Structures are given as C-alpha cells and as structure tokens.
Structure 1
Amino acid sequence: MISPYQQILEPELWLDINSKIVAPNEPISSSVLPPRKILNVTLPTRTTLTSNIITDAHTLEISSWIDKRKSRYTENNPYEFKLLVRGSRDGFDVKTIYEICDKVSNTVIVLKVKDTGEILGGYIPCELDKNKNEWIYSQDSFAFSLRTTNLKNSILSRVYKFDHAIVESPQHSQLFFGNTLCLLGNLKTDNQCHCLQNSFSYDKPIRSEELMDHRRCRFNVEEYELPKNIVTLPFFFPN
C-alpha cells in the first residue's frame, strides 16, 4: 500500500510510482539522482578538556558511562567538556560550585585526593540550585574512581535509589552522592571529605579498603575541576 505516501510525494513522482507498479518495464519521467558518495574519512580525535587532573582517555571513559555503553569509547568523543570550575582558580569551598553552577545540568566533578593520588568524582545530570537544600532525584547519576598508577581498573558506582541520588546543600557547603562520595566545606583544608563502604543509594564503594583505613577515611583534595559535558554534533560531509 503506497496511498498513505501520496500527501508527501510530488504529483509527478506519485504517478511514476503507480505506473511502475502497473508496468515495471516502462520508462519513467522523474529524475533519479545517483547514490550518495560514501567517503572513507577518519574523523579527528577531539581534545575534550585541558585538565590538571584527567586525560583524554579518562574523558572517553566518563562519556561511555554517561551513555551507558557496554564498551568504552576509544576515540571521537561525542561530548565536549567545558571547564566551569577549578579549585586552584576559583576556590575550594563547596559553596563556590553552587555559585558558579547554579541552574546548570550535566556536569562532572573530578578531584585528586591529597597524598594518595586517587582521582574520584561523580556525574550530576540534574540542575544544581544555590537556593535549595534537598535530595535530588536522578536515575542517571554515578560516582567513580578513575584508573591511575595506584589503581589498576576504574570503579563505576551507579545510583539505584533514585530519590536519594544527590544531596545539594549550599547552606551547609555540602555535595553528596549518597554517602559514596561526600564533599564538605573547604575541600583543600577541612579534611571532611569521605567515602563510605556501606553505600545506601549507589551500588558499590569507589575507594579500596586499604585507602579507607582509620587514618585515611577522611581526606583533603589537592585539586578539583567541574566541567559541563556538551553534546557535539556529528561530522557531515556533502555529496
């Protein structure tokens, strides 16, 4: 049945299609364009972020987690990461994050732990609000620990208790991913940041037990960055 397509086809093309069905060996008058050329072009690898903490390989891994891919991106990152906040540039108090990122969504926070060199972080798909103190609902947020010389494989921890995904509390200078990654006060000096093993809203801890003994349960941050991930359009090539 081709009658449903009559409204979107040109009259001449419509008549030609009908004629072709009735008499398939007869010529038609409509112009038939040649097929599009397929170009074998290698897309350039995007440098997604000038970072003091993470590499392009790290951003590819984070992008894979955002898209919930089973296999990791190895090139051509679909996202551009635009830096919004950097501790050494803008300040280390958690309130700074809320001031600069007010009403901003789809952000990633990465931080380098002092003394251990761990790279911890989390993805915040929802908007932060500098005037609210509440739990944020999210089905897509996650916390992580990235592979470094001291950690053989990255650790991904996804939220499963969606109504307790993220605590935004600018009034108390707090930003929590459940209790899997808890950021408080001045990240550089207050020694209040921590990650608990018995997470109640994310599926696994992101720090190894040997780095979470009683001496290192709480930690300071050497540097942190908070970029926004921006979807980049695919490359298009003319005929």
Structure 2
Amino acid sequence: MSFIFFDKLSQDFSELLNDEKEYNVVIEVDKEENMKSFTSHSVVLRYRSTYFTKELENIATNENHVKTIIKPNISAQIFEIILKYIYGGVVNIENIETKFIYELMIVANELEFEELSEKLGSYLIETKASWLRTHFSRIYHSVFDMNLINSTESAQKEVAENSNKRQLDLDESYSDCLHDTIKFQSKKIKTTTNNFNELKGLNRFYNDIITKHPNLIFESEDFTSLQEAALISILENDDLQLEEIKIWDYVVKWGIAQNPTLPKNLEEWSKENFKTLKTTLQQCLQLIRYFHISEKDIWEKLKPYRKILGKQLWDDLNQRLIFPNQPVKSVVLPARINSNLELFQSINEPISTIINEEHVSEISSWIDRKSTIYTLANVPYKLQLILRGSKDGFQPKTFWNMCNGHAGTIVIAKVAGTDEILGGYNPLAWNNSINEDFVETNDSFIFSLKNGNIQNSILSRIEIEEYNCALFYCGPDKQKTCGPCFGNCEFSLESNVSDFTQDKLCECYHPSFYEKAIRSTHEKFSIVDYEVFKIVKK
C-alpha cells in the first residue's frame, strides 16, 4: 500500500518559491516600467521544463553564481501564475477573463509546459468556443506565427550546430551555412504546414473552422498579412468549403498585397510585374485545382493572369475547353470535397444517406482483412464524402472529375426497386486521364450489404491470378457513359443518357476476376442514389 501526500507536497514547494535564501536563478519579465524580477531554483526549473533546461545551459553565472533569464514578451501577471504552476502544480483561472487565459496558454506552450497548454486549450474549446470564434482571425494568426517562429528558431539552432562542426575556411563555412539555412528553412516551413500541431486541440478547432467557414480567414481585415506557410496549409486542404475560383481570387489578392509597388491597374502591368507576382505565389499556384474551374471563370478570372500560370498549363486549360476528353500534360489535382457540413455538426448525424454505422464497421473489417467485425466503438476509419449523386449529379463524367486522384475509396449504390446496396472498394487512386485499361491490385473487393429483405452481406475479393483485372479505367473517350467499374463489369455503373438513374445499364456481371457474384441475378439495373467516400484513419 502507498500513502500519497500530493497536497502537502504542493504546499511545501509553493512555500519554497517564496524563499529567497538559496535561489540561483533570476527571471526578468515584462518591459520598461512593468518589468519585474522573480527568483527561482535551477534544479526545479530544469526538472519541470525542457525549455529552461536548454536556456540554463547557455547562460553564464555572475559573480554570485546566479543566472539571469530575460523574457520581456511575458507579462509579470502571467509569469507569476506560471511560477506557481511550476512549484505547486496549481493554476486557478476562476474569475479570469478569457483573453488572459488564452495568453496564459500561449506562454505555457512557449515555455514547453505541454500539460498546462493542452489543458488550457481544452478548457477554451469546451467552455469559450464563442469567444474563440469571435476572435478567430487574430488568434489564428498568432498561433501560426508562433509555430513558425518555433520552427525558425529550431532551424537556426540546427544550422549553428552544423556550422560549428565544420573545420573549413571562413568563406566555405559561410557558403555551406547559408545553403543549409535555405534548405532547412524550406523543410521547416513544409513541416509546419503539414503538422501545425504545437497546440493540438486548438489547431484542430481552428482547422475545422477554416475548412467549413473559410471566409472567416479570407475575408478578415488582416488576411493579406497571413504567413505564407499558413496560406499553403489552407490551400492543401481537400475539404475546403469554397469554390475554386474564389480561392484563386483570394490567392491573387494575397500575392498582390505582398508587393505594394505593383500598379493598381492590371492593364499597366509589365512583364516584370507578372514575374514578380509569379515568384511570390510559386508555392501557392501549384495548389489551385484549375481543372475544376468553370469555362466562364477561366476566361474572365484566369486569363488576365495567364502569364503567371505558365504556357503549358494555360494551353492545357484551353485544350480541356475544346477537347474535354483528351489527356493533358499538366498535373490535374482532384476536386475539393465540398460536403457543406455545418460547423460542430452533431456526431450522431449520419454522413451517408445509404449505409449506416454497422455497414461502416463491416466494410472497415473487410479492408483490414479481419476475421470478425469491428465493434462500433473500435472502428478505425471514418468516411469522408467525395460525392453524392443526389447532390452532385448522376453523370458518369461527374464521377471521374470529382474522384480523380482520390485513393482508398468505396463506391456505394442503392438499386432502384429493391433493398439492395451494392459497392466496391478501390485502394488505388482513380485516374481520369489514362487510356482505357484494366488496373491491378490485390486489395480491392466488391460487396452487397444486408438491408431490408437482404438478410446477409456478401463479400467478394479480387482473385489473385495471372491476369489480375481488379478495376477498369475507361479512359477519357468513354467517361460520358462509363462510371466506376470493378473487374469485368462485376460491379459497374453505366448510362447511355449520362444519368445512372434513367436507363438500366448498371450491372453486376457473372464473376471473372472476383470470387463470387454479389447479386442473385445478372439483370441490369438503374440506381436511386450513389455515394463515393474516402476511407480515412481516425
């Protein structure tokens, strides 16, 4: 048996904070008339925070064997609370205004008190969500800027360490160090863009807002002061709920704002002006989904800036308008998933109009080749809607446009006039530009789900043979009539009138490459609705 006396321990250490007899660290915070000094003990600071461990290693002692840490960016009021947390493990935020709690969280994160910063972040999300939304733009800027500063400081330290190790002459050392700085900064910006997780809970909160309500950041007064890495992070989001042409407009607006000397009138721009804008936006331009912008907007909005797009991309956009079925040389990014979900959507609201949670459990188990079905609590995947026929249309071409580039997807279809729910899983990326061909994979499967009068689900995996024709990509010429096709039409959606709900041309042909048939009849059918989801790890 163990007797635990944390309360007394906390009280004693809190009293130690007020004992100035044996201190060996002075911490100066705030500036000018508000500057205040606190005494502390290096052994306590080092064991409570890796930040202070690193700081104390780099600071020399004075004649009295005392080290001084200077933090002018931290207010005395906030640091006093931090010190009480360091020594006593207690933080009292009762009757404290929300802005102060937010600033306290930022300082806790800077000083690498992860437990405290995460706790405060959770508290703000759970109890002060309206305040966070109201002050969204300013806070998002500060959080991202702080993360970028942290990344920059790490980069500078690593470059300095690498530089110290070199036994080269001054000129060569400077050249190598500068090269490393550029290379490492680029890597750090990418890392910041991808991870952006210094304050995990708060970042998830704001990323969710940006995804579903992007105008909160794009229409904010300080949008053009956004860090480039933050803008890139937003543009990389496949779920961004905004028309692509509007995203283009905002990106151009941001790029022009970074170059205030550019002429106000676009007709007065020189070749060098366009080159300047292109250089500024080079990391952002490659993230625009150009081939999902309407013909009208391409002509009205993109054409005036065609010089920053590059000749190949502009030629391909024009070719797509004239010959829509011909492959292009430029990279074609998939359309964004405009699910139009409301912010803070109820977790009980079904994402699918065709399948339920039990179906998701079953499909997830098949993907992982489990012998038993996942329980609802243990399902490792969630569904991310790419398209829904009743919302996006039933044209085969719509499928190829919206699903292009998406890998790890399931296609779900509800058969007209029956209770049947049919589907297929494709672990590979759909590709709307390759020529007509079969595609090989050992992990695809087709299925029929239990529903209504259908008592049992049927799973049919691809059979691994010499000729593994798991999927059929019909190629640009046939995308007006052919949608997704598994095997030799063992599950396929087709229509000669460009609408899967109208003519009965969808089919589940007798098995050639899959283990078994997923329907008891080979008669062709039409559908009531269909959905395509991306399978995402939780």
- Give the number of the structure whose residues are more often strand, by fraction: 1
CA-based RMSD of the aligned residues comes to 1.6
Q: Deviations over 1:180-207 (max 9, x none)?
A: 112113211121101122x110000000
**Cα 1:48–1:65, aligned 2, differ >3 Å: closer, same or farther?**
farther
Contact kept in structure 2, 1:49 and 1:81, CA below 8 Å: no
Contact kept in structure 2, 1:106 and 1:229, CA below 8 Å: yes
- For residue 438 of structure 2, what is the aligned residue in structure 1? 135
SS at match of 1:156: strand
- For residue 108 of structure 1, what is the aligned residue in structure 2? 410
Q: Deviations over 1:136-158 (max 9, x none)?
A: 11100000000012211100000
Q: TM-score, normalised by structure 2?
A: 0.32
Q: TM-score, normalised by structure 1?
A: 0.71
- For residue 383 of structure 2, what is the aligned residue in structure 1? 81
Shift of 1:71: 0.3
Larger radius of gyration: 2
- For residue 218 of structure 2, what is the aligned residue in structure 1? none
Unaligned 5+ segments in structure 2 are: 1-346
Unaligned 5+ segments in structure 1 are: 1-45, 233-239
- For residue 117 of structure 1, what is the aligned residue in structure 2? 419
**Cα 1:70–1:47, aligned 2, differ >3 Å: closer, same or farther?**
farther
- For residue 530 of structure 2, what is the aligned residue in structure 1? 224
SS at match of 2:360: helix
Q: 1:155 aligns with which of 440, 446, 458?
A: 458
SS at match of 2:361: helix
Shift of 1:49: 5.1
Q: 1:206 aligns with which of 510, 515, 518?
A: 518
**Cα 1:74–1:91, aligned 2, differ >3 Å: closer, same or farther?**
same
Distance 1:200 1:112 in 2: 23
Q: Deviations over 1:88-114 (max 9, x none)?
A: 111112221110111110000000000
The answer to whether 1:63 aligns with 2:364 is: yes
Percent of paired sites with the same residue:
37
Distance 1:88 1:149 in 2: 21
Contact kept in structure 2, 1:48 and 1:79, CA below 8 Å: no
Q: 2:503 aligns with which of 182, 190, 195?
A: 190
- For residue 26 of structure 1, what is the aligned residue in structure 2? none
State the 4+ residue runs in structure 1 displaced beyond 3 angstroms: 46-49
RCO higher in 1 or 2 (8 Å CA, sep ≥ 6)? 1
- Give the number of the structure whose residues are more often helix, by fraction: 2
Shift of 1:117: 2.2
Contact kept in structure 1, 2:419 and 2:454, CA below 8 Å: no
Distance 2:348 2:425 in 1: 20
SS at match of 1:95: helix
Contact kept in structure 1, 2:437 and 2:475, CA below 8 Å: no
Shift of 1:55: 0.3
Q: 2:490 aligns with which of 180, 183, 187?
A: 180
Q: 1:167 aligns with which of 451, 472, 489?
A: 472
